[in-house]
Amino acid sequence: MSKYEKDLRNINSEYHSISSKCNMLSNLRLLCALIGIVSFIVSVVDKRKDTFFVFIFLSILFFLLLLFHESIKEKKDYIFAKQKVLQKRDNRLQDLWSEFEDKGNDFITKESSVEIDLDIFGENSLYQYLCVANTYEGRKILASYLQNTNFDKKTLCKRQKAVQELIEREDLSLEIETLSTKIALNSRSYVKEWYNSFIKYLNKKDRLISYFISIGAVILTCFMLILLALQICGYQVLNIIGVLGVFQLICAYYVSYKSKKVTQNIYNFCLNINGYYNLIKCIGNANFKSEYLKVLNNKLKGKNKTVVGIKKLNYVNDAFSLQTNPYIHIFLQLFFLYDIHCISYLERWKRKFGENMTDLFEIIGEVEALLSLSVLANNQSITFPEFVESGNVIFEVDLITHPLISLRDVVSNSFYTKKGISIITGSNMSGKTTFMRTVGVNAILAYAGAPVCAKSMRISFMKIFTSMRVQDDVSKGLSSFYAEVLRIKEVVENLEKKTPMLVLIDEIFKGTNSTDRIVGAKEIIKTLNKDYVITLVSTHDFELCSLVEQREIMGLNYHFEEYYKNDKIYFDYKIKEGKCRTKNAVHILKMAGLMK
C-alpha cells in the first residue's frame, strides 16, 4: 500500500457523498426557477397578485438555494482538487507521472538545446515531474528557475530555505497545492489564454461599453420596473412591456455580441477568481519563517486594496454564473438588460481595483514555483547543495541519482572533480549517457534553488553546455555531424569569455569516421582543458584515454562496465576510475539474433 492510498480512499468517499447533495440542490433550484417564471408570467398577464407573491417567494427561495448550492459546489470542487493532488503524488510514487498533462512544451525554444538534451521540458521531462503550478505566472516562473543562468548565491540560498520550509510544512503545502489545482479544474489548457486576455483588458484604457450605454441601461431598467408595477396594480401596459422587452432583449444581446471577443475569456477567467482569492487568503494567513516567503507575504499584505478587489471580482463570477442557465438568462436580459449591467460593473471594478493586479498574480506564481521545487522531497532522498564561489570550479557529489528514474531501478554514484576533463568510456547500454544526464539535471536543480537527488553536493556556479541529442536538419541542409560541430563551436567561443562552464558531450563526433573523429576529438578536448571548465566526454574511442595517461590534459579516465552470467549480460551502472577494458557490441547483436 502506498502512503497516499488511505487518504485517497477517504477523499473518494467524501467526494461521492457531496456530489449527491450538489445534484439534489441543482434539481430543486431548476424546479423553483421554472415554477417562478410561470408564476411571474401568470401574474403579469392575468393581473393576479397571489401568483405574484408566489413568484416573490420562489425567487427568494431560488436565490437561497443558489447560495447554498454554490457553497456546496465550492466544497465539492475543493475536495475534487485535493483528490487530484493526492492522485498526482501517488502517480509520482508509482512512476505514472509521465501521464501528467503539463509538459512545459510552450517554454521550448530554438535555443533550448540544453533543456532538450537533459529532458528539462517536453515529454517525460523534469518540468512535467515537478510542476504543480496551475496559474500561467506560476508555470512561467518555474520555467525561469529551471533556465536560470544569473547566479546569485544569496538569492539561491534564500530560495533553498523557502523550499525547505514548504517541505517541512506538509499540511500547508498540501493546502496551497489544492487551492492552486482548484483554479484550473477542467480548464488547464486555457488558463494562459484567459489570463493573458484578462491582463490585456486591465492594461487597456478603452472601455468595453460607453458611459451612454451604461446610463441608458439603468434608465431603461428603472422604466421597465415601473411598467411591471403598474401592470400588476391593474393598469393596461402589457403591450408597452412587450415592445420594451423585445427592444431590451435585442440591445442586450447586441452589446454582448459586440464585446464577446474580449469578454468571453474575461468571463472564463472570472469564473475561477474565487480560487485566486482563496489561494491569496491562504498564503496571506501563513506565518512563514523563511526570509524569501516572508518578503512575498509582506508584498501581499501591502496590496490589501488589490486583494479586496479580487474578492469584489468574485461578485462578477456570481453574476456571470447565471448565464449558464438559458431560461434565467433570457428572462433577465428581457426585463433587466442583464449583460450590460454585468459589463458596467466590470468597468467600475477595473477603474477602482485594476491597477497592480498583475503583481498579485506574480506573488501567487512565485509561491507555486517554490512549491514545485519542493516536490522531489515527497518521494526522493534529497539534500540542498552547497555553492562554492572561490577557487577553481568544482563538482563533488555523494550518491547522486537521476530524479526521473524509478526508485526501483535507479543506481547512485559518487563523483568528484575539480576543473579538467573526465573521459568516460564504457560498452553499449552501460550507463555513460544516463550518468551525464544525472550530473546535468541535478546541476539544473541546484541552480534553480531546489534540492538535489544526492546525499551531499558541492558545486560551483557554471554555465551548462551540452552536445547529446544532436539531430540533422534537412530544411537547413545540416547533417548530424555538422550540427554537433556547431554545438561544440558555441562552447569553444564561450571559452574566450572565461565563463565557468560545465560541458557534457556524449559520444563526441559520432557522426564521422573513426580516424577523423579521434583527431578532432583530441583537439577539442585539449581546447577545453581550462581551469574554469569541467568537461565530461563519453566515447567508445579508447585512444582518447591516452590524453590523460600521457598527462596532455588535466583530468581522469572513468568507465562503466558489464558482466556476464549464464551467457547473459548485466550492468551495475556504477562509475569507476580508469579506462574500460570490455566490449559488448557483438554480444548484443547475438542477443538480438543478428549474428550467430
pLDDT at position 186: 56
Q: Which three cell numbers stand for residue 189?
A: 489548457
Query: SS3 string of 210-253?
Result: CHHHHHHHHHHHHHHHHHHHHHHCCCCCHHHHHHHHHHHHHHHH
**What angle, 0 to 180 degrees and rounded to 10, lies between the N-to-C axes of helices 326-336 and 338-353?**
80
Q: Which residues of 47-70 are buried (b: 16+ CB within 10 A; e: fewer)?
A: beeebbebbeebbebbeebbeebe
Which of residues 91, 122, 154 is at a domain's end? 91
- d(Cα 396, Cα 159) in Å, to the nearest integer? 21
Angle of helix 357-373 versus helix 153-168 axis, rounded to 10: 70
Question: How many Å is the Cα radius of gyration of the chain?
Answer: 32
CATH at residue 389: 3.40.50.300
pLDDT attached to residue 24: 84
Report the C-alpha gap between 484 and 472 in whole angstroms. 9
Residue 581, pLDDT score: 76
Q: Is 421 left (phi over 0), alpha (psi -120 to 50) or beta?
A: beta
Measured CA distances, 320 to 150, 197, 235, 315 (Å): 44, 17, 34, 9
Q: What is the pLDDT of residue 404?
A: 96
Residue range 10-64, pLDDT digits in tens: 888 888 888 888 888 888 888 888 888 888 787 777 777 677 777 888 888 888 8
Q: Report whether 473 contacts 405 (CB < 8 A).
A: no
Say what the pTM is: 0.85
SS3 425: strand
Residue 318 is assigned to a structural domain of this protein: no
pLDDT of residue 90: 92
Judge whether 62 lies within some domain: yes
Select from 45, 62, 91 the last residue of a domain. Answer: 91
Tens of pLDDT, residue by residue over 518-564, are 999 999 999 999 999 999 999 988 899 999 989 899 999 999 988 87
The answer to the question of residue 549 being in a domain is: yes
Q: Please report whether residue 422 resides in a domain.
A: yes
In the DSSP assignment, the letter for residue 186 is T
* Residue 339 to residue 122: CA distance in whole angstroms: 41
What's the number of domains the chain is made of?
2
130 in a domain, yes or no?
A: no
Domain that holds residue 85: 1-91
Environment class of residue 198 by beta-carbon count within 10 Å: exposed (0-12), middle (13-18) or buried (19+)?
buried
pLDDT tens for the chain, 596 residues long, are 567 888 888 888 888 888 888 888 888 888 888 888 888 787 777 777 677 777 888 888 888 887 777 778 888 888 999 999 999 999 999 999 999 999 999 899 877 789 999 999 999 999 999 999 998 899 999 999 999 888 899 999 999 999 999 999 999 999 999 999 988 875 555 567 777 888 888 888 777 777 788 888 888 889 888 888 887 777 888 888 888 888 888 888 888 777 776 677 777 777 777 788 889 989 989 999 999 999 998 888 777 777 888 878 877 777 777 777 777 778 888 888 888 888 888 888 888 888 778 888 899 999 999 999 999 998 888 999 999 997 789 999 999 999 999 988 999 999 999 888 999 998 878 889 999 999 999 999 999 999 999 999 999 999 999 999 877 566 565 678 878 888 899 999 999 889 899 999 998 888 788 888 899 999 999 999 999 999 999 998 889 999 998 989 999 999 998 887 877 788 899 999 998 876 655 555 566 565 66
Domain boundary residue, one of 46, 76, 91: 91
Q: How many residues does the chain have?
A: 596
Stated as kind and residue range, the H or E segment containing 53 is helix 49-93
- Domain-located, residue 151: no
CA torsion 52-55-56-57 (nearest 10°) is 120
Q: Say if 260 falls within a structural domain.
A: no
Residue 148 lies in a domain: no
